[in-house]
Amino acid sequence: MIASMAANVILDGLFSKSLPRNVRGTLNGVMSAMGTFGTLVFVKCAGWSFDMIGAKSPFYLVAIADLVFLLCIAFLVCCGKLSTK
């Protein structure tokens, strides 16, 4: 959950700093729409895993998604593609 909130803050920060002003609104809208779509897909997958695997499986799904996001950010920082300055 914390990584999901961090993802929103990081993406908003990247968008505001690195996009030209004339496309920021459009891309923020696309980012918001994709976030909503991702939430819908996650809810569907979590419900399926709850029914088919068990009551703890949605929490494992969130933990795995947060770990993948953390590893992606760490990789981008280490490769110099994402500046921390």
What are φ and ψ of residue 36, in 5° steps?
A: -65, -45
State residue 30's pLDDT score: 86
pLDDT digits (tens, 9 = 90+) for 3-36: 667 777 777 777 667 778 888 888 878 888 888 8
pLDDT digits (tens, 9 = 90+) for 28-70: 788 888 888 988 999 999 999 999 999 999 999 989 988 998 8
Give pTM, 2 decimals. Answer: 0.61
CB contact set of 31 (below 8 Å; sequence gap of 6+): 11, 15
State residue 85's pLDDT score: 57
